[in-house]
Amino acid sequence: MAWPKDVRRGSAWHRVGQLVLFGLVALFFIRAGLTWNRSGIGQLTDMLLFATAAVGLNLLVGVTGQISLGHSAFFGLGAYTSAVLVGQYGWTPGWTFPVSIVLCFAVGMVVGLPALRLKGVYLALVSIALATTFTQLLNWDRLAWLTGGPIGIKGLSYLPPSWTPFDGRADLGKWFFWMSLVVFVICTLIASSMIRSRFGRSMVAVRDNETAAAVMGVNLAAVKTLVFGLSAAMAGIAGSIFAMKLTLVEPVVQFFTLFGSIFLLVMVVLGGAGSTWGPLVGAFIFVYVRDWASGVGEGNGVLGLFEGTRIGGLGGIVFGVLLIVIVFVAPFGAVGLLRKARAKVVRVLPRPPALPTVANAQEPQPPTTVVSG
């Protein structure tokens, strides 16, 4: 029997393969949610929240090709919206989430306006300005009545509501975990169905050749601003839950600063820009590799060679080198690498062309396909 095997997209075998993959991932999260301790679940929750924000960023960067280094501002805006409403105005945390989503969507649309005129490095610069301005605003004395200034807002609390099976503070970690998982799944479903829709093809067209897309009738302004808005909304809801889990917001929280934007971009690239699984895999690698790397050189560090020397920032250096290696080995991210490995065993062939009468409803092409004249 010759390898690799050919499997046609949409065939029974293809569906079985997809189900097994989904099943394994679902099993991992369910098992973790039921058996892991509070610290493990806490870390996994952070990972899911970063992945949710990365799903949004992936729509923007990976699918639509608009570089943003300002996503920390949306993540932070979501966090501060919840924190201000809960901490300053006594709202129930759950009701602040829709407000965060709407506010971040609106601000995202507005911020998307420069993208109508700017491209590439210029757009990146504008988005950097957004990230840095956001932390300056948080620190601004005149806004301290709202944001708490440099001290931020502390002592936020979100106990599991009574309708949930979770009981008080002891189940807080689990409550945040399941909530984050549901939010992540919803955002991923929205993103993946968007990518497969007509709108998604417009997004890919904008990424691959803006002029050609416009010529073909894609409304550039609508696509760009809507994607910016949606992307910001996903970062916003992730930020909201992150703030409630952290119980505080302050301007120096890493994910509210430019670092956060860079981290989110790293996750998207690590996982595989443009792919549905990319953000999850990227966030997973980011959180766990960073955690592993931070232990290097410390007392019970991984590299016994460095034990006791405590080189400042060694963990950071190890992490940085790893990133470079991963990008070299897997230029299309971890998901790209896995696909390459899978292709040695199973080759997924596209569906045969659809009948001419249903041409408009044809299956989407993989995101890397060039859709241009």
Partner 1 sequence: MAHKRLMAVFVVAALAAAACGGDDETSTTDAATPTTAAAETTAPADTEPADTEPAADTTAPADTAADTTAPATDENAFVVDTEACEDPDAANAVIEGDIKIGTSIPLTGGPAALFAPFADGFQAYFDYINATEGGVNGQTLVPIVKDDQYTADITKTNVDSLVFDDEVALLSGIIGSPNNAAIQADMNALCVPQLWAATGAPSWGAVDVYPWTTGLLVPYAVESRVFLEYATGENPDVATAALFYVNNEFGQAYAEAFKAQVEEFGIELVAEETIDVTDSGAPSGQLTNIAAANPDIVLAVPLGAQCIAFMTELGNVKAANPDFAPAVYQTATCANQLFFGAAGAGGDGVLTSSNLVDVANPENASLPAVSTYLEAFTSVNADANPAGIAVAGWLAGEMTVATLKKAAEDCPEGITRACIINAARNIDFTPSLFREGLSAVMNAGDGFIAEGTQIISWDAANQVFVDQGDVIDVEGTTGVYTPAS
- Residues lying near partner 1 in the complex (CB under 8 A): 37-40, 42-43, 46, 139, 149-151, 154-155, 157, 168-170, 246-248, 250, 252-255, 294, 298-299, 308, 310, 312-313, 315-316
Q: Read off the tokens for 44.
A: 């996994």
- The string of DSSP letters for 112-158 reads HGGGGT--HHHHHHHHHHHHHHHHHHHH-GGGHHHH-GGG-B-----
Q: How far is the CB of 357 from partner 1 (least distance, A)?
A: 56
Q: How far is the CB of 244 from partner 1 (least distance, A)?
A: 13
Give Cβ neighbours of residue 58 (< 8 Å, ≥ 6 apart): 191, 268, 271, 273, 274, 275, 278, 279
**Which is nearer to partner 1, 140 or 199 (by Cβ)?**
140
Q: How far is the CB of 99 from partner 1 (least distance, A)?
A: 22
Taking Cα atoms as reference points, which of 302, 303, 260 lies closest to residue 283? 260
Q: Read off the tokens for 48.
A: 């899911």
**Which is nearer to partner 1, 230 or 296 (by Cβ)?**
296
**Which is nearer to partner 1, 85 or 123 (by Cβ)?**
85
**Which is nearer to partner 1, 4 or 150 (by Cβ)?**
150
Q: How far is the CB of 211 from partner 1 (least distance, A)?
A: 42
Q: How far is the CB of 174 from partner 1 (least distance, A)?
A: 13
Q: How far is the CB of 101 from partner 1 (least distance, A)?
A: 22
Q: How far is the CB of 305 from partner 1 (least distance, A)?
A: 17
Establish whether the linkage from the previous residue to 4 is cis, with ω within 30° of 0: yes
At 303, the amino acid letter reads: L
- For residues 272 and 333, the answer to whether their CB atoms sit within 8 Å is yes
Return phi, psi of residue 253, to 5°. -55, 125
Q: Read off the tokens for 94.
A: 């759950």
Q: How far is the CB of 42 from partner 1 (least distance, A)?
A: 5
**Which is nearer to partner 1, 152 or 229 (by Cβ)?**
152
CA distance 218 to 188: 24
**Which is nearer to partner 1, 94 or 149 (by Cβ)?**
149
**Which is nearer to partner 1, 90 or 165 (by Cβ)?**
90
**Which is nearer to partner 1, 202 or 250 (by Cβ)?**
250
Q: How far is the CB of 151 from partner 1 (least distance, A)?
A: 5
CA distance 134 to 195: 30
Q: Are strands 346-349 and 5-8 parallel, antiparallel or unpaired?
A: parallel
**Which is nearer to partner 1, 165 or 168 (by Cβ)?**
168
CA distance 236 to 335: 25
CA distance 334 to 277: 9
Q: How far is the CB of 313 from partner 1 (least distance, A)?
A: 4
CB atoms under 10 Å from CB of 309, counted, come to 9
Q: What is the distance between the terminal CA atoms of the chain, rounded to a whole angstrom?
A: 40
**Which is nearer to partner 1, 46 or 332 (by Cβ)?**
46
Residues 120-140 as b/e (b if ≥16 CB within 10 A, e otherwise) read eeebbebbbebbbebbebbbe
